[in-house]
Amino acid sequence: MPFIKLQVAGAILLGASCALAQNAILEPGVVPEPAVEASEYKPLTISERYKWAAKTPASGQRLAGFAVSSALSTWRNRPEEYGPHWEGYGKRIGIRMASGATGTMMEATIGALWNEDPRYVRAEGQPFKKRLTHVAKMTFMARNRNGEMMPAYARYISVPANSFMTNAFRADSEANARDATIRIPMNFLSRAIGNAFTEFWPDATRWMHRD
């Protein structure tokens, strides 16, 4: 059984990498590189905001985060109703995409009240350590209507609200307040993983295709 779990986790990560190879450059949730300066920033229009909300849950960036967190859940067999196998993985990735869809729509809608921009901004050209810090920072930060960094208040509201709201369609063993609370930091971890792939995957693909 442990070997099967390792196969599942490894294949999931490989699949996420392949998806990112195709999607990282044109990611709908990423500001085009290099990162725009505040003076050049253009805020999201309403149509752009909801286009981001619709496309992001199935984007390479988010799928990478979902893949890693689902692999961990499959390894731990949580929730136990899904089982520690491929079918269980499929159910876990499906529930994460469903909850991701409701979460991004909530974040986009709430953030529209004060023009909070939920898109990820790459820090290409900066030193590695600074880029790694940027990945972590953008997990909790966003741009305001002027392109300046601010706490991602819409995210802070939508993540906990969505975590509890999705109890309505989750497996019985995790449809409770305790598990909903645990899902809050896991959601931010999944976002950080997605940000890391988005930040560094284009560089990795260029390195792999060097002559």
Give yes or no for residue 170 having a pLDDT over 60: yes
**In a domain? residue 58:** yes
Give yes or no for residue 151 having a pLDDT over 50: yes
**In a domain? residue 132:** yes
**In a domain? residue 199:** yes
The overall average pLDDT reported for the chain is 81
Three-point CA angle 20, 22, 28, nearest 5°: 75
Give yes or no for residue 10 having a pLDDT over 50: no
In whole angstroms, what is the distance from residue 8 CA to residue 208 CA? 25
What mean pLDDT is predicted for residues 81-91?
Answer: 91
Q: Which of 73-82, 129-138, 189-198 has the highest mean pLDDT?
A: 129-138
Q: For the chain, how many structural domains are there in total?
A: 1
**In a domain? residue 140:** yes
Q: How far apart are the first and last CA of the chain?
A: 42
Q: Which domain holds residue 167?
A: 2-22+43-204
CB 63 within 8 A of CB 155: no
In whole angstroms, what is the distance from residue 80 CA to residue 63 CA? 22
What mean pLDDT is predicted for residues 65-84?
Answer: 87
**In a domain? residue 38:** no
Closest CA to 165 of 186, 184, 189: 184
Higher pLDDT, 171 or 206: 171
**In a domain? residue 198:** yes
What mean pLDDT is predicted for residues 165-186?
Answer: 93
Cβ burial of 198 (10 Å; 0-12, 13-18, 19+) is buried
**In a domain? residue 47:** yes
